[in-house]
Amino acid sequence: MQVEVWSDVVCPWCYIGKRRLESALEKFPHRDQVEVVWRSFQLDPSVPEGETHPTLPALAAKYGRSVDEMRPMMEQVEQVAAGEGLEYHLADGISGNTLPAHEMLHLAAEHGLRNQLKERLLHAHFEEGRSVFDVDSLVALGAEVGVDETEAREALADRRYLAAVREDGATAQALGATGVPFFVVDRKYGAAGAQPAELLLQILERAWAEANPLITVPAAEGCADDSCAI
């Protein structure tokens, strides 16, 4: 069974959703037969590549609120994240174009390291306050999980994974995704947002049951109701 997750590395709810999916998989008896595939989704592709800006005032301006009004909203998200074992520092964060980060994730996938790099980028951005926007930072973070530095620089320079990132975005749009995280199980079931682990587990169980219907054999001797009571 395949679980595809569209997300962005600067989406606070995406990291929360990742933890909730992991919690659901821990309780799913067939978790060893589930492939999780991380798909690319850019929340704000309009930001010029290479530029960064403080997140707090940018979000305040986006939602037409003051910085002081925005802080408690961020704190609420931090509290939710803490419930999943994550330590956010949203008011101190920086934002930028995540296209290179998504290209790096596709490179990592070629070497079976996409899951490791996804976690590393999310952790770096939300819990360490590190940049996930410039080439040097991405190459260094990739190297930490086993992505070759020279290959990473070449891939980011020649944009060999740009088409793959664009294709992920187009597929998300075709599937009706308007935000992230967006979970899709076997291209049959979709769940938008950082759904509770219990709901994600229900979706996994339902998809598994439909893909693996009960197989019966001809009836043999047995008991019905209390006909075999001693």
In a domain, 227, yes or no: no
Task: Report yes or no on 69 lying in a domain.
Answer: yes
pLDDT score for 50: 86
Domain assignment of residue 113, yes or no: yes
Structure letter (DSSP) for residue 215: P
> What pTM does this model have?
0.90
- 3 Cβ neighbours under 8 A, 6+ residues apart: 21, 34, 35, 36, 37, 183, 184, 185, 204
Domain tally, the chain: 1
For the chain, residues with pLDDT lower than 70 are 214-230
- Between CA 102 and CA 170 the distance in angstroms is 14
β-pairing verdict for 189-192 and 182-185: antiparallel
Dmax over CA atoms of the chain, in Å, equals 79
* 220 located within any domain: no
Q: How far is CA 172 from each of CA 11, 76, 102, 191, rounded to the nearest angstrom? A: 16, 28, 14, 12
- By C-alpha distance, which of 21, 16, 47, 17 is closest to 201? 21
| Three-state DSSP state, 40 | strand
Tell me if 79 is assigned to some domain: yes
Please report whether residue 86 resides in a domain. yes
C-alpha–C-alpha distance, residues 182 and 86, integer Å: 20
Token digits for 212? 């693996």
Give the type of residue at 49.
E
Find out whether 70 and 90 touch, Cβ atoms under 8 Å: no
The SS3 call for residue 7 is strand
Residue 152 near residue 144 (C-beta atoms within 8 A): no
Q: pLDDT, tens digit, for every residue of 168-186?
A: 999 999 999 988 999 999 9
Question: Which residue(s) pair with 54 in the sheet?
Answer: 94
Specify the 3-state DSSP secondary structure of 185.
strand
pLDDT score for 228? 40
- Structure tokens, 105: 């994730």
User: Please, where are the H alpha helices in the chain?
Assistant: 12-27, 55-62, 67-82, 99-110, 114-127, 135-144, 149-158, 162-174, 197-211
Q: Write out the two tokens for 102.
A: 């998504």
Report the CATH number at residue 10. 3.40.30.10
pLDDT digits 0-9 by tens, 177-220: 988 999 999 999 999 999 999 999 999 999 999 987 754 445 44
Q: Could you list the residue range(s) of the whole structural domain that residue 111 is in?
A: 2-211
